[in-house]
Structure 1
Amino acid sequence: MTDSLPDSNLNSSLKPGIKEMQPLIAESLPLQGCHLIEASAGTGKTYNITRIYLRLLLEEKLDVKNILVMTFTRAATEELRGRIAREIRNALDKWGHFDKNDTFFAALTEKFTIEDVNPVLHNALLHLDEASIFTIHSFCKRVLSQQAFSSGVDFNVQMETDTAEIELEAVRDWYRTLAYKHKADEGFTNDYQLLIQYWPAPDNFRKAFSDLLSSTTPVQANTPESIQADFQQQKSECLQHLQAHQSFVFEVLIDSHKEKFARTDEWQVLMNWLNSDFFELSEISSQTMPKEAAAVFNGNRYGRKPADIKQQLLDLFAPVKQLKEDAAEIEKQIEKSRSYQIAAQGIDFIRRKISQAKQRARVMNYDDLINQLAAAAAKENNLTQLIKEQYPVALVDEFQDTDPQQYAILKAVYQSSKNAATDDSTPGALYMIGDPKQAIYAFRSGDVFTYLAARDDADKQWLMDTNWRSSSNMVNAYNRLFYGASLPSENESGTAQDVFGFDIQYIPVKAADKADKTPLTFAAGSAANKQIRSNAALQLIYFPFNEDYRSGRSKKEEMTQNFCS
């Protein structure tokens, strides 16, 4: 592994069509346009956010009320507010006396004297409690309240209301409707029975589909016919696969065996089954692979073969073994797809009920705030222009956890000038800061594909390319793990493996020497200090799937001892 990475290889692993990333230099970052900033763990994301903020105060003469900073939790907003205050105080205390190696402040002190800076930064500190540092939900609430007319929101609506009971009552209404229909049809309609087989009570259904109930995205479910077609295609592919390797199978397993004729018959049973059409849905259970067909790839038949032959057979029969497992489950999958079709119909019914109930009660929940603002921003009115005039610049932290509706709002406000239908003359900037490798909020609709779409929409892409937190050995191990191949060197560009998929590129980061000077140590006499098992910077632990890690002191100790670096 290399100890450092050459700048020339910064974009060496990018796929064609993906914009090149430039190293982020806070003092020269353009203060207009749409920018995506990729910041891996430990690369100084918050540090650079505070410096960009400082430049906006001084160079753009913006008030703290007009710089929009968004993140995803209230705790994070307070952390950002505190870090910004610290940076402003640091600038006031040290102006003209900064470390000579600090190129950021060297650039600023060339432009501004202490007399220029004092009133601006003192005013910012004085009003920092009023700074526009919000969660996405509090931002939407503020805009909808301030721009109620343009956004189409009832002036008397109660925002950020818990609507769980409204949602549950709508689900109960749907359950009652199906139960009544089932009773009226004297059991001929089995929708209700299928429903309660998977979601016995309304509360079960609401918990299973809570995200969809609060979304406006159209719902689609697999149909029995689509599952049938997919299964038939899987059989056809296995048939072609085995036919292509038939001579090898006969040579190794059939022709040289004393039960050659019996095994030939089994092969033919397998071929016939693979070549058969899917039966009528009433005969789904007939799709189970015949016992004679499954005997063809029974592992006992080649367990004692030479290792290379055995491995070839294992690889050859892997798709057929998977098909056998899928065939055993096809009946359940078909039945489950029917239940999900019923659920999809129910979600449409329930959404309408919920919407009507909220309108009557004049309430909105957290998701409604985002959906309402996204819908209003998509209309041809002056709402987006009003937002941009109030917040000409936005910095969005943890952008990888942004969902499509949230990005739609930001795009409508800050990228509207790209649309021919919009007359937007207000200068502004949008900075989207995040790391797709750290996308963790899928459970609340965070969508890494939104990040990738924003990456393509951005005018410029920047990379924080140095890890200041971890030791050089740790950074090199981290790079090697996510690069998926030998790291690039001065003479070789290297070819990264597609570790993450979905065009999420991994560009190795550099290591600073700061962490090497203060290595991580355990307290003297601690159990962890006595039981260090390896000097490796990065250690991997395998957790068996069937283990219960919610309890057990020894398991927690094992994580503590082996997972710190």
Structure 2
Amino acid sequence: MPKATALNANSTPLTHTTLIEASAGTGKTYTMASLYIRLLLQAGENNFSRPLSVEEILVVTFTEASTQELKERIRQRIHLCKKQLEQYREIQDKKAFADNQPLAELVDYIDDIDLAIQRLRLAEQNMDMAAIYTIHSFCRRVLTQYAFYSGIHFELELVKDETELLKRFANEFWREHFYSLPYESTDFIHRWLGSPSAVLNHIRQYVSGDPLKVAINSPQLLEHDLSEFLQQYVQNGLQQIQQLKQQWRESAVEIRQLIENETAKKYAKGEKKRLKRTSFKSNTVPNWLNQMESWADDVYQLDFPDCIKYFSQQNLNTDYVEEGAEPMTHVVFEQVDKVRNIDFTLYYHIVLYHYMQALNQKMTAYKLDHAEKSFDDLLRLLRDALYAEQGNELAHRIRSQYPFAMIDEFQDTDNRQYQIFEKIYQAQPNCGFIMIGDPKQAIYKFRGADIFTYLRASQQAKQSFTLENNYRSSGALIQAVNGIFNFASSFLYADIPFQSVKAGSKQAEFLIGEKKQAPLVFYLGEQLNDKNKLLKGETQQLFAETCANSIYQWLKSVGKNTAVFAKDEQREIVQDNDIAVLVESWREAELIQQSLRKRGIASVYLSDKSNVFDSDEAKELAYILRACLNPLNTKVILNALATSLFAFTAAEINQIKQQDSLLEQWVSRFENYQRRWLRHGVLAMLYQLFLQVDEHQPCMLERMKAMQNGERRITNLLHLSELLQQASPTQESEASLLRWFELQIQNKQDRDDEQQLRLESENQLVKIVTIHKSKGLEYGLVWLPFIAFSTLKSDAISTYHDERDKQQYWDIESQYSALTVQESMAEKMRLLYVALTRAKYQVNITLPLHLQGEWTAIGYALTQGKIGLNEKMQNVYDSQTLLTALQQKWGHESLTVEPILNTDIVVEDRNKAQNATVAPLKASEFEQNIERDWTLSSFTGLMQNHQQNKQKPWWQPQIQMLDESAVENSRVFDAAKDNDQLAQSNIALKQTSLVDWQDYPTAHSPVDFPHGSQVGTLLHSLLEKITFNQPVNPELIAKYCQQLGLDESWQQPFTQWINHILQTPLLENGLYLAQLPAKDCLKEMQFYFNLHRTFDVNKFNSLLKAYHHYWQEPWQFDQIQGMLRGFIDLVFRYQGKYYIVDYKSNLLGKSPQNYQPDELVKAMQNEHYDLQYLLYTLALDRYLRLRDPAYSYESHFGGVVYTFLRGMNGEMQSGVFFDRPEAELIANLENLFNA
């Protein structure tokens, strides 16, 4: 890279490849605007060959927001220069160029002022056509404009969010490769991969991009087919572990005697011991043996205990035997060596590799046949086109259209982006290319940005410049930050040196009561346990309180007009929104917000991930929208009224529920909302909802304004309303709009910028901002309360850059961990630099009294690199000593050190006059007793408790894998239901017989349908939505196929299966679901019933043994007191009797014979569903006795039907279990539960 010199925007040559390094606050945008003016006017030294128009100057940024900001800043600069040139033309005096030194110098090179003004006027008029684009907009434009050369022969359909498509393929891969695996492999998949979504979170960054290179010593491991690899390595390794466990169990006594006898043995002086006593101590060996025996007894525990190294034959031969003694040996110790060498982490990475490869292939194949293209696709398509056969011609045409290009924030580029501009502009005549960025601010690796691409590009630049003057921060703060980073390898790489900057403005200071405040303030303190170890959580809380107290003191001074910013002889009173607290996570933000809230200080949290769909208002509005679409469903209306938006108490909601007149009023109101939605749109309906005034209370928005964070909540509601209105034209119906809304709440990936949280008002608010979000922004005062806890985080995929080919590699075997750790540390240093350069006047930092433990960027900076690059610090550093040394180096005025502020909260009202007449408030005192043993339980809770008390795991290994679903559960609406599980019995999942399921297409029968609890939930949802005696809606089936990630080939067999379910006889008289009218069906009946005293489980068992014909074993759940709850899938009325129906999607086997009556009885007993339907029967019996005085169990209760959906084929007794509990049993249970 050529040596960098200070930039002069009026003399920089404009026909070369140029790199401009713009440190924080040095006027990068101003410099770009100055160069833009030069190009328009063809003025200054080393000019471009001709004046350019705004359509010919390509300016590329990375976000829509920065594009709009840059365009506006350039427009303003053009307007200013035009006005000043017009004034200069009149007065012929350079006083016309006040505060515009570049133009004052440039005017000497302008021969024709009138022509210059004309060019600027034309540029201002045409700014809407200016070639200022995001990188993706630029790619899309040239791909379509030069379709012949780019090979794009169809209209691109840009898809901003590929989440659903990626989920679909991730789920598809999971089903294709993991569902049919044997237990050993499926258990490994379950433990290490978790779920398709979990895998996608790990590999998402590397899907749809260029293939990630892999560093591996044994590349043949990647060449195996996945199933072959799992069988040969994973399954074999797990079997070896089980073999070791068995050997240890069989030899446990022998091993214990061998070890304990040796450690107890008395040796003569000088006699060599078989076990070193420094390692094998008599007080620790028994504990190790206990740990090993517990591990061997637990067949489901695969993780090795730490102490296993002491039982390795290899270690016993070398490390734990005294020289000259005979090592202790045992066949089990030899097996330990074999097992310890199994690298399950490597196996996990190889499975991830196959997953990544498959997703890339699936995405590529899909996009070959579809017009949809993502942002990444645009980059790939243009890069590939430029390096294809007609690439040179394409590059020439782009270069002719845009002879000059400036790339902003170039440190955030990646290899593919640079390859595009390298091909177009590098070493080409009659063009100019400027890369502007700051490698010290490259903090977006998680988005794909690659600092090493920047470094490679910098080597190819013909000339390199820097911006020397910082116009953001005060001179004292600039000096302090210079001091922190001004040491060798401060950014860990020689190619990223730190260059000090100078103050670009006059003296600026932060004053409190006319006293000058130091630009850098450290507060020292910590919380320790009784062993003098740092308590991280308690110390973070202490730091949050310190930060909040500091801000409170500032604002208290503001109230007295004594906290001011003094700059250029002007004074400005500090405002709340001049203050920013920089954090790294929402958890840190929450700590700060809580601490500020205690002191009556309003704040707002801003993050790259802050999204309005994550707010409570989004979830509650979804409930309300559902009620507006279902105004006759009282349960849905009560759910809506229970939200905080309506602000009803539980007693008021109960009153509405009990009084028919009140409930009818709300039903009528929601019917009105529905009509307004249908006639005038969702926005009109919501505004009516928000602004409607009730007789005794104000409108919803007024009520919310009085709540805590009221403005924030109102802003979120209005923002959500706008987004709903924008999405409405793209949705086919109101119901589909609601589905879209719920999907936005569930989807956490690739959200639009439009969904970012908005500031609630223009009022003064303290800002809590993530460091990543703060980049490019500036604040008067900055707090960094948790920077001392900014430690390294490990990723599932660790990458490094090879020095030889400069390419990124996946360190799949962790053999280059030093390089991956160095890259992570370097990014942490860059993050620290960004954090320290946001402030204009002062930065405040809290530190523990001692720096120790894990490596941190602030520790590396304050020790000037002395802690090195070890993940764990080798020494303990006294914070006061380090800061004193820096004070002596920079001067005491640059830095002050304070003890932790008193965190006791003594809040004085910042506006006492406003509250002078308000009487002091006193909290009511609670004087009642709380029943500590009261609980809310369900069938699932009882079952889990029973299994735990039997001291055996509830989840069998076969269940863990097969129950894993490839569909995400909605976290928005928690139905609190018991999900179906797979049968616990050892079921042989043989291949589907074509004869058994001949009515269905091959591999599309009910038993081929995905299994798992989430699939069961979706099937329940479908059966809840459909009307039994109406044809099944194909669109509904298509929607559920989409949610399950099933392709179109499943729609017909899925519909066929549902029809079979509806037409399979439930009762001996042939009744089936399709014969039931909606008025005789109650779906998803929720119940709660009291246990009036502590429940007697022994008496319960006696009753079951005496009266229940499916009783098998005593129940062993704990004594319970409180309430039992549950959901009954369906209650229907037929010929004057009431029946209970429960849907089960359990996979009992792959043959219809697995769903015949005898097999169903086994399944019912294995899963203890008989207890479930006894509870349901008891609940329904109670309900009917309360609602109908003439009801009797003998006359009106018909029975219980359990439908095993996969076996229902339309024939009698296929997949249907029926029982009617004895009346005497139900009566006795009622007495027991109601005693």
- TM-score (norm. length: structure 2): 0.33
Superposition deviation, residue 476 in structure 1: 0.9
- Of residues 98, 106, 110, the one that matches 2:104 is 106
Superposition deviation, residue 289 in structure 1: 4.3
- Of residues 411, 418, 427, the one that matches 1:407 is 418
Q: Which residue of the partner structure matches residue 391 of structure 1?
A: 402
- The structure-2 alpha-carbon separation of the partners of 1:393 and 1:519, relative to structure 1 and needing over 3 Å to count, comes to same
Q: Which residue of the partner structure matches residue 149 of structure 1?
A: 148
- The structure-2 alpha-carbon separation of the partners of 1:283 and 1:367, relative to structure 1 and needing over 3 Å to count, comes to closer
The one-letter code of the counterpart of 2:32 is I
Superposition deviation, residue 21 in structure 1: 0.5
- The structure-2 alpha-carbon separation of the partners of 1:73 and 1:225, relative to structure 1 and needing over 3 Å to count, comes to closer
Determine whether 1:473 maps to 2:465. no
Q: Which residue of the partner structure matches residue 1137 of structure 2?
A: none
Superposition deviation, residue 443 in structure 1: 1.2
Superposition deviation, residue 553 in structure 1: 4.0
Superposition deviation, residue 170 in structure 1: 1.4
Contact 2:14 2:432 in 1 (8 A): yes
- Of residues 307, 310, 314, the one that matches 1:290 is 310
Contact 2:407 2:435 in 1 (8 A): yes
Q: Which residue of the partner structure matches residue 89 of structure 1?
A: 79
Determine whether 1:539 maps to 2:548. no
Q: Which residue of the partner structure matches residue 377 of structure 1?
A: 386
Contact 2:17 2:427 in 1 (8 A): no
SS in 1 for 2:14: coil
Determine whether 1:461 maps to 2:451. no
- The structure-2 alpha-carbon separation of the partners of 1:187 and 1:380, relative to structure 1 and needing over 3 Å to count, comes to same
Q: Distance in 2 between matches of 1:383 and 1:545?
A: 57
- Of residues 182, 190, 202, the one that matches 1:196 is 190
Superposition deviation, residue 201 in structure 1: 1.9
SS in 2 for 1:552: helix
Determine whether 1:62 maps to 2:52. yes
- The structure-2 alpha-carbon separation of the partners of 1:162 and 1:506, relative to structure 1 and needing over 3 Å to count, comes to same
Q: Which residue of the partner structure matches residue 442 of structure 2?
A: 439
Contact 2:440 2:491 in 1 (8 A): no
**Which shifted more, 156-165 or 217-226?**
217-226
SS in 1 for 2:79: helix
Q: Distance in 2 between matches of 1:22 and 1:457?
A: 16
SS in 2 for 1:178: helix
SS in 2 for 1:76: helix
The one-letter code of the counterpart of 2:60 is M
Matches within 5 A, 1:68-79: 68-79=58-69
SS in 1 for 2:201: helix
Contact 1:222 1:337 in 2 (8 A): no
Q: Which residue of the partner structure matches residue 638 of structure 2?
A: none
Contact 1:67 1:394 in 2 (8 A): yes
- The structure-2 alpha-carbon separation of the partners of 1:157 and 1:469, relative to structure 1 and needing over 3 Å to count, comes to closer
Contact 2:203 2:352 in 1 (8 A): no
Q: Distance in 2 between matches of 1:499 and 1:261?
A: 55
- Of residues 189, 204, 208, the one that matches 1:210 is 204
- The structure-2 alpha-carbon separation of the partners of 1:147 and 1:540, relative to structure 1 and needing over 3 Å to count, comes to farther
Q: Distance in 2 between matches of 1:211 and 1:366?
A: 13
Superposition deviation, residue 159 in structure 1: 2.2
- Of residues 17, 23, 45, the one that matches 1:40 is 23
Determine whether 1:428 maps to 2:431. yes
Question: Which structure: larger Rg?
Answer: 2
Q: Which residue of the partner structure matches residue 138 of structure 2?
A: 139
- The structure-2 alpha-carbon separation of the partners of 1:497 and 1:440, relative to structure 1 and needing over 3 Å to count, comes to closer
Superposition deviation, residue 260 in structure 1: 9.5
- The structure-2 alpha-carbon separation of the partners of 1:541 and 1:354, relative to structure 1 and needing over 3 Å to count, comes to farther
- The structure-2 alpha-carbon separation of the partners of 1:260 and 1:108, relative to structure 1 and needing over 3 Å to count, comes to farther
Contact 1:38 1:463 in 2 (8 A): yes
Q: Distance in 1 between matches of 2:100 and 2:511?
A: 30
The one-letter code of the counterpart of 2:443 is I
Structure with the higher helix share, 1 or 2: 1
Superposition deviation, residue 506 in structure 1: 0.7
- The structure-2 alpha-carbon separation of the partners of 1:176 and 1:226, relative to structure 1 and needing over 3 Å to count, comes to closer
- The structure-2 alpha-carbon separation of the partners of 1:194 and 1:388, relative to structure 1 and needing over 3 Å to count, comes to farther
- The structure-2 alpha-carbon separation of the partners of 1:383 and 1:46, relative to structure 1 and needing over 3 Å to count, comes to same
Matches within 5 A, 1:206-355: 206-220=200-214, 266=276, 288-290=308-310, 334-355=343-364
Determine whether 1:551 maps to 2:541. no
SS in 2 for 1:539: strand
The one-letter code of the counterpart of 2:52 is L
Q: Distance in 2 between matches of 1:472 and 1:350?
A: 52
Q: Distance in 2 between matches of 1:265 and 1:139?
A: 71
- Of residues 347, 364, 367, the one that matches 2:373 is 364
Q: Which residue of the partner structure matches residue 165 of structure 2?
A: 166
The one-letter code of the counterpart of 1:549 is E
Q: Which residue of the partner structure matches residue 507 of structure 1?
A: 499
Q: Could you say which structure has the greater relative contact order, defined with CA pairs below 8 angstroms and 6 or more residues apart?
A: 1
Gaps of 5+ in 2: 43-49, 89-93, 222-268, 281-301, 320-335, 527-534, 541-586, 600-767, 769-780, 785-841, 844-1235
Superposition deviation, residue 151 in structure 1: 1.2
Question: Structure 1 vs Structure 2: percent identity of aligned residues?
Answer: 29
The one-letter code of the counterpart of 2:109 is K
Q: Which residue of the partner structure matches residue 253 of structure 1?
A: none
- Of residues 497, 501, 519, the one that matches 2:509 is 519
Q: Which residue of the partner structure matches residue 452 of structure 2?
A: 449
Q: Distance in 2 between matches of 1:205 and 1:48?
A: 44
Superposition deviation, residue 206 in structure 1: 1.6
Contact 1:151 1:373 in 2 (8 A): yes
Q: Distance in 2 between matches of 1:346 and 1:87?
A: 51
Q: Distance in 1 between matches of 2:509 and 2:192?
A: 53
- TM-score (norm. length: structure 1): 0.70
Q: Distance in 1 between matches of 2:306 and 2:24?
A: 53
Q: Distance in 2 between matches of 1:262 and 1:562?
A: 61
**Deviations, residues 249-276 of structure 1 (Å, cap 9, x unaligned):** xxxxxxxxxx998999749989xxxxxx
Q: Distance in 1 between matches of 2:34 and 2:303?
A: 68
The one-letter code of the counterpart of 1:506 is F
The one-letter code of the counterpart of 1:448 is I
Count of aligned positions: 442
Contact 2:154 2:371 in 1 (8 A): no
Q: Distance in 1 between matches of 2:192 and 2:279?
A: 36
Contact 2:399 2:424 in 1 (8 A): yes
What is the RMSD computed on CA atoms of the aligned residues?
Answer: 3.9
Q: Distance in 2 between matches of 1:260 and 1:283?
A: 39
Superposition deviation, residue 195 in structure 1: 2.9
- The structure-2 alpha-carbon separation of the partners of 1:263 and 1:32, relative to structure 1 and needing over 3 Å to count, comes to farther
Q: Distance in 2 between matches of 1:70 and 1:225?
A: 40
Contact 1:166 1:357 in 2 (8 A): no
Superposition deviation, residue 156 in structure 1: 2.9
- The structure-2 alpha-carbon separation of the partners of 1:471 and 1:154, relative to structure 1 and needing over 3 Å to count, comes to same
Contact 1:70 1:396 in 2 (8 A): yes
Contact 1:483 1:499 in 2 (8 A): no
Q: Which residue of the partner structure matches residue 302 of structure 1?
A: none
The one-letter code of the counterpart of 1:395 is M
Superposition deviation, residue 93 in structure 1: 1.0
The one-letter code of the counterpart of 2:589 is R
Q: Distance in 1 between matches of 2:594 and 2:209?
A: 39
